[in-house]
Every structure is written in C-alpha cells, then in structure tokens.
Amino acid sequence: MQIIENANVKEKLFFEKLENGMPVLIIPKRGMKKKYMIWGTYYGSNDNIFIVPGESKETRVPEGVAHFLEHKMFEQENGTNSLDVLTALGVEANAYTTNDHTAYLFEGTTNFFEAMDELMNYVQNPYFTDENVEKEKGIIGQEIMMYDDYPDWKVYLNAMKAMYHNHSVKIDIVGTIDSISKIDKEVLYKCYHTFYNPENMVMVICGDFEPESLLEEVKKRLKSVEPIGEIKRIYPDEPTNIVKEKIEEQMEVSQPMYTIGIKDKPIDHMESNQIVQKELAMQILLELLVGKSSYLYKELYNKGSIYGGIGYSYEVSKSYAHILFSGQSNNPEEVYEMLKKQIEYFKKEGISPKDFERIKRKIYGEYIEEYNDVGNIARMFLTDYFKGVNSFAYLEQIKNIHVENLIQLLEDVFNEDKMVISIVRN
C-alpha cells in the first residue's frame, strides 16, 4: 500500500487502488476502541440524468432515487434487514445521501469483522420487490413531512431555488411525495447497477488496525464485478446568474430565519491543490467577514440583530458552487445590507495582515481537531476523495495562503448581482 504521512497532525494514510478500480483508504488510530468503516458511491441526489456505459440514449430518473435506493439497500432477500443485523451485532449503523454521494457506514467497538461481512454483503446484494418498494414510500413520505416542519431546512432550500434555475441542487435530496411515487424496482436496479460499480466507489476505514491485513479482509469480501467504464452525467445547463434575489416563506418560528447565498462557478477544471487553496482562502475570508471577532458580528450582536452568530459554509463541486450565510435575526434584511457593505469595505480597504494571521491559526487548529474522532476522520477522507482531494492537503496548503488570495476571491466571487436572500418568518 502507498503510505502518505502528515507531520503536523502525526497521522498516516494507507492507500491502495484495487484491481477492480476501487480505492481503499485506511487511517490507523492506535489506542482507539472505536472503529469506523464507511463505503460510499459517487452518486447523489444531483445525478438524475445520465448515460449508462454501453447505451446511447440518456436515462432520466425521478428526483429522490439515490436516497430511496439508500433506504432500500438494507432489505435482504432472506427477509432480514441489515440495519437490524448490524444493530444486533452491537455496532451503530447508518447511511446517508448528499447532493453528490451516498454512503453506508457503521461504528463500533466489537464484532468489527462480522459487521464488515454484513455491510459489504448488503451493499453488494440489492433486493427490490414491487411490494417492498411500495412500503418504503410510506416511510419516506413521513421523512419528507418531517423535513417540512424544519424551518431551517426550508430556508436553505429556498436559497437554492433563488440561486439555481435548473440544477437539481435546488431540489430536496429526498425528492417530493410526487416524484417518489414514480419510483419502481426497475428504476432502482438500473441506478444500482450503474452507480454501485466498484470503480465508482470508495472505502475508508479508521481505527486500531494493521492496514495490510485489513486490506486483505476487504478483498476477501468483494464480489468480482467487471468495471463498466465511465458514466456520463448530464447536468442541465445552469446560467451563471441568479433566479431572483429574494424568497420569503411563512412558517411558525420565534425569530425570522435567513440564508444568504452567493453563487460561484463550479470547479470542474481545477487541480486538487487549487481546490484546497480556494477552500482555505474562502474559509479564512468568511471567518474574517462574519466570525466571532469580526466587525460585522460585533455590530449586529450589539444592536441585538443576531443571536447565536452567523453560520457560514462554502460548498464547491464539479457542477455547482456557492457560499451560504445563515442564522436567526429579527431583521434579516439589515444583516443582508450590512454584509454587502462589509464586503465593499474589504474590497476597498483590504485585509489587515494581523487579523489574517490570527484567523489562519484558528483554521489550522480546527483542522487538527478533526483528527480526534475516527468517524470524523473517515467521513472527511471520503468526502474529500470525491472532490479529488487528499484531506492532509488542508494542513499542508494552509501555509501557502496569503492575503492576496483573499483579495482575489473578493474580486472573483463576491458580486452583489450573485447574491440572494431567503427568509422564513411568521
């Protein structure tokens, strides 16, 4: 196996790409009792139009299939449910679907290899029937309704709708009651056989292991599947401009909730280190803009316009990218206007090197802290891998970030005509 070491956090990554094309990443953690295994496929809620290798026509599937498939994978032909089997082994099992990937995982202190048997068995053996697909529609219907009652989810989704004309990132990962009603077992099998090919999947394991022998255990449990070649994914043409600047919705909340978005360009063409540098520079800049020691935070806090701070995130992928700011405020419009002003101020006056260095230290510390927990580590390496990034790169690249990178970002990304605000209020 290839060994990659990071001297700052003092951890090692063992890496191997198997013959079937699947990468396996192992991060040993001596002394930890918890072990964590996650197996992901590069297939999420955004992949609704694609061309199956070997076919000429494109396939269109209803929204919410990736998530529906995730639910159904647990069901086994012998009548058992793998979630129950794993729980019975004393491990905590789960699965989740994001915009760009689906992952199956478990975490535990006992019966690791028995649990690995079960996980690898169920992910490699789908069993869908008309009956069990129909049944799942009831459960997922309740899940959709549960999200309907979360104002924070609503306000997020509306911000997506304000930014994106066509891209499926604007649609709920779980789909809608209407879209899931169109799902049948044929659709599920087709998506499974296309996207659950080892070539399209990544496995990450973290815990107290000998990497080489663990890799053999993984290989033993893999079915032999022929690689099918590249899946062509089709995303609807997405204009660079926004749909509309403001969306408001009424819900019973104590305080208005807001999400402010800035639409950015996707990263299709960038090198791994460029992605990392852009994300790091963005993180430092966003912290300087709205973090706990920022001017904006102090002003808004002292006015009583925000409490609980302003959350921020930067999401970047091959087909979309955006910045989000979110929180609760009695006057979201004021937060929006002051944020715009602060961006202008930074553009005009520049960024203080002293503040920059301090925030850089903070971000460094936060990356180190990620390595406390086996689950955090494994999820981080998986998510980053799908972006084409080795997670250690963040610790290595941070020293290469300079004030100039932030200035460049301000010019390239922070444009008023790319900004939207979504509000949920009474």
Q: Which residue ranges make up the site for another protein (CB under 8 A)?
A: 8-10, 29, 31-34, 81, 83-84, 87-93, 108-110, 135, 138-140, 142-143, 145-146, 148-152, 251-255, 291-293, 298, 301-302, 304, 307-308, 328, 330, 358-359, 361-366, 368-369, 371-374, 399
Assign 3-class secondary structure to 393-416: HHHHHHHHCCHHHHHHHHHHHCCH
Please state, in angstroms and rounded to a whole number, the distance separating the CA atoms of residues 297 and 29: 38
Pick the closest to residue 396 from 2, 7, 3 (CA basis).
7
Q: Closer CB to another protein, residue 90 or residue 388?
A: 90
- Decide the pairing of beta strands 321-328 and 11-17: unpaired
Are 130 and 184 spatial neighbours (Cβ–Cβ below 8 Å)? yes
Q: Closer CB to another protein, residue 113 or residue 307?
A: 307
Q: Closer CB to another protein, residue 54 or residue 365?
A: 365
* Closest approach of another protein to the CB of residue 49, in Å: 28
3-state SS assignment for residue 316: strand
Q: What are phi and psi of 292, to 5 degrees?
A: -60, -30
Q: Closer CB to another protein, residue 224 or residue 254?
A: 254
Q: Closer CB to another protein, residue 93 or residue 201?
A: 93
**DSSP bridge pairs for 134:** none
**369 part of the active site:** no
Other CB atoms within a 10 A radius of the CB of residue 275 amount to: 19
* Closest approach of another protein to the CB of residue 181, in Å: 15
DSSP class per residue in 41-96: ES--TT--EEE-TT-SS-EE--TTHHHHHHHHTTB-TTS-BHHHHHHHTT-EEEEE
Residue 166 corresponds to which tokens in the numbers above? 């066509």
Q: Closer CB to another protein, residue 328 or residue 405?
A: 328
Rg (CA), the chain: 23
* Closest approach of another protein to the CB of residue 297, in Å: 8
Pick the closest to residue 180 from 228, 150, 145, 226 (CA basis).
145
Q: Closer CB to another protein, residue 315 or residue 355?
A: 355
Are 235 and 133 spatial neighbours (Cβ–Cβ below 8 Å)? no
* Closest approach of another protein to the CB of residue 353, in Å: 14
* Closest approach of another protein to the CB of residue 256, in Å: 11
- Decide the pairing of beta strands 257-264 and 321-328: antiparallel
Identify the active-site residue in 11, 63, 70, 279. Answer: 70
CA angle 375, 1, 195 (to 5 degrees): 60
* Closest approach of another protein to the CB of residue 21, in Å: 32
* Closest approach of another protein to the CB of residue 133, in Å: 13
Please state, in angstroms and rounded to a whole number, the distance separating the CA atoms of residues 272 and 280: 12
Q: For 385, how many CA atoms within 13 A lie in the half-sphere containing its CB?
A: 27
* Closest approach of another protein to the CB of residue 162, in Å: 22
3-state SS assignment for residue 323: strand
Q: What are phi and psi of 423, to 5 degrees?
A: -130, 140
Strands (E), 152-230: 201-207
CA angle 91, 94, 95 (to 5 degrees): 150
* Strands ordered across the beta sheet of 102-108: 2-6, 11-17, 23-28, 201-207, 35-41, 102-108, 92-97
Q: Closer CB to another protein, residue 204 or residue 374?
A: 374
Mind telling me the catalytic residues?
Answer: 70
